[in-house]
Amino acid sequence: MGGANNESLASGFSFLSDKSEKVFVAGHRGLVGSAIVRKLQSLGFTNIIVRTHAELDLTVQSAVDAFFATERPSYVILAAAKVGGIHANNTYPADFIAVNLQIQTNVIDSSYRHGVKKLLFLGSSCIYPKFAPQPIPENALLTGPLESTNEWYAIAKIAGIKMCQAYRIQHKFDAISGMPTNLYGPNDNFHPENSHVLPALMRRFHEAKVGGAKEVVVWGTGSPLREFLHVDDLADGVVFLMDSYSGLEHVNVGSGTEVTIKELAELVKEVVGFEGELVWDSSKPDGTPRKLMDNSKIAEMGWTAKTGLKDGLMDTYKWYLENVQNIKK
């Protein structure tokens, strides 16, 4: 995508040049938001603003507007959303479309109206058509039908990308969008049904190991392919985009490597140390057959992921063991 509307609006400042600037990280207790806060703290940012869901419900427009009027952050990273795996997306379509449209509309609009210098919106690889070319380039957006298990969430995320583009075109607001692939790591949602595959399997294998079970049930056929990115790599990529990218088109952020769900299940089993059998429940949906993102755009800008899947899984399982008593989800 080129032309005048794709111009950089980042004249006169750089995200990393003044670490005393106020940065609002929305969704700071989640998988992504907590990793971004860790990253910003490690870089020396001193003015990170956070609010829990209880303190500020981002679906309430008047509350969001009052927050921005009072706090007046310079930068916003939007990692608050209604998020879940294939079952949750399939079961609560109204929540996934409505809550996400509300949160992102409120935060993007208030950010613009209260003088935020730059905002980064997070989408997801599920925005792309179910049968997109692989690896999926950014320009595959809106070229075909979506995967049915997550179309409601995908429509909200596509609207978020378009809202950032519209505010950039009409208002010269420096709103950019990053599209992460499937993520995992510390502070993930380990809910037995509503989580994504990786934390779901980690918990199921762990509980089977501790309980002495002989079998663990895994959903679907095991044949779908997924690309996984450690959330600390994503946080690094988000900071990279905040500092280096100012353009109309969204940017894919992935690891570039994919595994089948069967391979993932075997790897999680090994890392957790479960010695029983896998049983496949083919009554559960597989979802999209493959969604490997084309990461060449961000790679050409100078960013690539660092964490291999096995190392990332070991790191996540270590975190899980240290925090398992506190996992409420």
Ligand X SMILES: NC(=O)C1=CN([C@@H]2O[C@H](COP(=O)(O)OP(=O)(O)OC[C@H]3O[C@@H](n4cnc5c(N)ncnc54)[C@H](OP(=O)(O)O)[C@@H]3O)[C@@H](O)[C@H]2O)C=CC1
Ligand Y SMILES: C[C@H]1O[C@H](OP(=O)(O)OP(=O)(O)OC[C@H]2O[C@@H](n3cnc4c(=O)[nH]c(N)nc43)[C@H](O)[C@@H]2O)[C@@H](O)[C@@H](O)C1=O
CA-CA-CA-CA torsion sign (230, 312, 25, 102): positive
CB 158 within 8 A of CB 96: no
Place of tokens 């960013």: 303
Residues at the interface with ligand Y (CB under 6 A)? 84-87, 89, 124, 126, 149-150, 153, 182, 195-197, 200-201, 218-220, 224, 226, 261, 284-287
3-state SS, residue 109: helix
Beta bridge partners, 25, equal: 77
With CB atoms as reference, the residue minimizing the distance to ligand Y is 85
In the complex, minimum distance from the CB of residue 239 to ligand X, in angstroms, rounded to a whole number: 15
Of 114 and 162, nearer to ligand Y (C-beta) is 162
Of 106 and 181, nearer to ligand Y (C-beta) is 181
Of 34 and 150, nearer to ligand Y (C-beta) is 150
Tokens standing for residue 34: 């907590």
In the complex, minimum distance from the CB of residue 54 to ligand Y, in angstroms, rounded to a whole number: 24
Give yes or no: 112 in active site.
no
Distance (Å, whole) CA 236 – CA 65: 29
Q: Which does 150 bind (CB under 5 to 8 A by kind): ligand X, ligand Y, none?
A: ligand Y
What angle (nearest 5°) sits at the alpha carbon of residue 44, between those of residues 38 and 45? 75
Q: Which does 218 bind (CB under 5 to 8 A by kind): ligand X, ligand Y, none?
A: ligand Y
In the complex, minimum distance from the CB of residue 48 to ligand Y, in angstroms, rounded to a whole number: 25
Looking only at the bridges linking them, the beta strands covering 118-122 and 175-180 are parallel
Q: Which does 74 bind (CB under 5 to 8 A by kind): ligand Y, ligand X, none?
A: none
Is the preceding omega at residue 135 within 30 degrees of 0, hence cis? yes
Question: Between the CA of residue 176 and those of 10, 51, 52, 72, 77, what are the distances in Å?
Answer: 11, 22, 24, 19, 10
In the complex, minimum distance from the CB of residue 142 to ligand X, in angstroms, rounded to a whole number: 18
Residues at the interface with ligand X (CB under 6 A)? 27, 29-33, 53, 57-59, 79-83, 103, 122, 124, 180, 182-183, 189, 196
Query: Residues 153, 167, 184, 320: which is the catalytic one?
Result: 153
In the complex, minimum distance from the CB of residue 4 to ligand X, in angstroms, rounded to a whole number: 29
Active site amino acids: 153
